[in-house]
Every structure is written in C-alpha cells, then in structure tokens.
Amino acid sequence: MATVLLPLPEDIARGARLLRAAQRIVAFTGAGVSTESGIPDFRSPGGIWSRYRPVLYHEFLGDPEARRRYWRMQRELYPTLAGAQPNAAHRALAALWELGRLDCVITQNIDALHQRAGCPPDCVIELHGNGTRVGCLQCGRTWPRAEVQPRLEAGEDDLRCEACGGLLKPTTVAFGQPMPERELREAQRRAAGCDLMLVIGSTLVVYPAADIPVCALEAGARLIIVNLSATPLDDRADVVLRGHAGPTMEALLAAPAARLEDPPSA
C-alpha cells in the first residue's frame, strides 16, 4: 500500500461509539477486505475485470472454449489466492468474535481468509462459495483446489473428474449460477437480527448479496460502511469510513470510545 488512507478521527470516534453500543454485530465483507492481502478486487483500476472477461455459468457448461478461458484465468490467479495471508481487517473481525461481539461474518469472498484469521467456520457465511476446493458438477465429489493446480500447469485446460468424467469447477458461484439458498436465507436472517451492520470493502452492487445490508437497515440496525469508494448505501449509513480496511478497522477497535473489553452499553 503506497499511501494509507485513514478516515477522520471524529468519524472513527462516531463509529467506535456505535461499536460500543452494539449487542449483536454482523459484518458483511467484499473483495476490498482482501486487497491488502494481495488479492485484487474486481472493479477497482487494475482489478480482475480490467484483465479478464468473466465466464458466465451457462458458457462454462456449454462451451469448451469458454472453459479453457476460465481455467487459464484460474491457473494464473490461483497462486495469489493460495499464498495470501489474512490482513489487519480480517484479524480485527476475528478479535470482535473473540470478544463475543460479532454474531457472524457474511462474505462475498471465496478466499477463506476470515476463517484463517480465527473466525470459526460456522461464524462465516460464504455467499459465493469457497475457492479452496473443486467439485465435480456430475457426481458431487470434491478435492482441494491445490490438487488440480499441477494438472493445469501440466497443460490440461478442460478439467474432468477422474471418477466419473464430469466437469470439474471450483466450489465458487460463477456469474449466472444460482446462489446457495441455505446460505442466502441464513444471511438474511442474521442480518435482520443484528443491531449493527458493518460493511467492509464492497461496492454493494452485486445482487442479491448487496441486499443483505438493506435487510439489516429495514429491521432497524445501524450501519457502518468501511470502503475506499462510494456505495449506493452511503446516504443511509450512520457512519461512512472512507479508508483502507486494515488500518481503519485497527483504528476503530483501538479508539477509546469503543471500550470493547466492557459490556456493551448505549
């Protein structure tokens, strides 16, 4: 990170007062929570969509050339995903969990960095799946994603299940692929039951995931947004923290007004 962008101290203090008052915090994270771990987001300049054209799910299923394009992108991007380490923002959420203040993290990310930072797997709801495994679309068997990387590097570019010959695909949700229903319902339920929604690193434009913070707002929760660029919900947020996710989350938790060791109070 060349220049660290931090929000104004008075905005951090306002956010910290909301943290202190909250009984049940739900975090909603997007690609921006992981850029400081070295994983590019999709839409920022230099992001993934400035270099690749997305492969839609129906193209993946029906077009061998689209699958080859998909696996070429996978082959190139996977080492970054595999080598990434949790950053200060992931660690801050894990610390909130340790303190008993975080109900769950709802994430659009597929990098499993929240779990690796210390959030237990059952406190992380993955709306777009998990890139650390691949599955057969026919027989349903799954394998660690790491096991297929050598096959890609050896030149395979349309991977098939060794057991049944079905198409292999990472266990992530591709564009045009239905979202996992159980995760989506659970995310909506937890969002509707929180009293503070903490959005970190999302443009809030990918639906239906971006509706999750709206569920929280409609149920009366307060809203903090930590993001480098503007989002469609900024006007409805109680506090917008325009800054880098890691240093901003560290400042928020360390702010005297947060007093996170004490029981919550209004």
Minimum CB–partner distance for residue 163 and ligand NAD (Å): 28
The tokens describing 39, both together, are 């994983």
39 part of the interface to ligand NAD, by CB under 6 A: yes
Neighbours of 99 (CB within 10 A): 12
Using CB under 6 A, pick the residue from 114, 128, 169, 222 that binds ligand NAD: 128
Question: Contact region for ligand NAD (CB under 6 A) — 8-16, 18-26, 43-51, 149-157?
Answer: 43-51
Q: If you write DSSP's letter for every residue of 177-215 in order, what string do you get? A: SPPPHHHHHHHHHHHHT-SEEEEES--S-STTGGGHHHH
**For ligand NAD, which is the closer residue by CB, 23 or 85?**
85
Angle at CA 30, nearest 5°, toward 77 and 124? 100
- Residue 173, judged by CB atoms within 10 A of its CB (0-12, 13-18, 19+), counts as buried
Catalytic residue among 58, 90, 114, 128: 128
**For ligand NAD, which is the closer residue by CB, 156 or 238?**
238
Q: If you write DSSP's letter for every residue of 225-256 in order, what string do you get? A: EE-SS--TTGGG-SEEE-S-HHHHHHHHHHSG
**For ligand NAD, which is the closer residue by CB, 23 or 80?**
80
Minimum CB–partner distance for residue 86 and ligand NAD (Å): 11
Q: Residue 244 catalytic?
A: no
Distance of alpha carbon 130 from alpha carbon 105, whole angstroms: 14
80 part of the interface to ligand NAD, by CB under 6 A: no
Q: Which of 82, 206, 93 is nearest to 147 (CA)?
A: 82
Minimum CB–partner distance for residue 122 and ligand NAD (Å): 19
20 part of the interface to ligand NAD, by CB under 6 A: no
Binding site for ligand NAD (CB under 6 A): 30-32, 34-36, 39, 41-44, 47-48, 108-111, 128, 201-203, 206, 227-229, 244-245
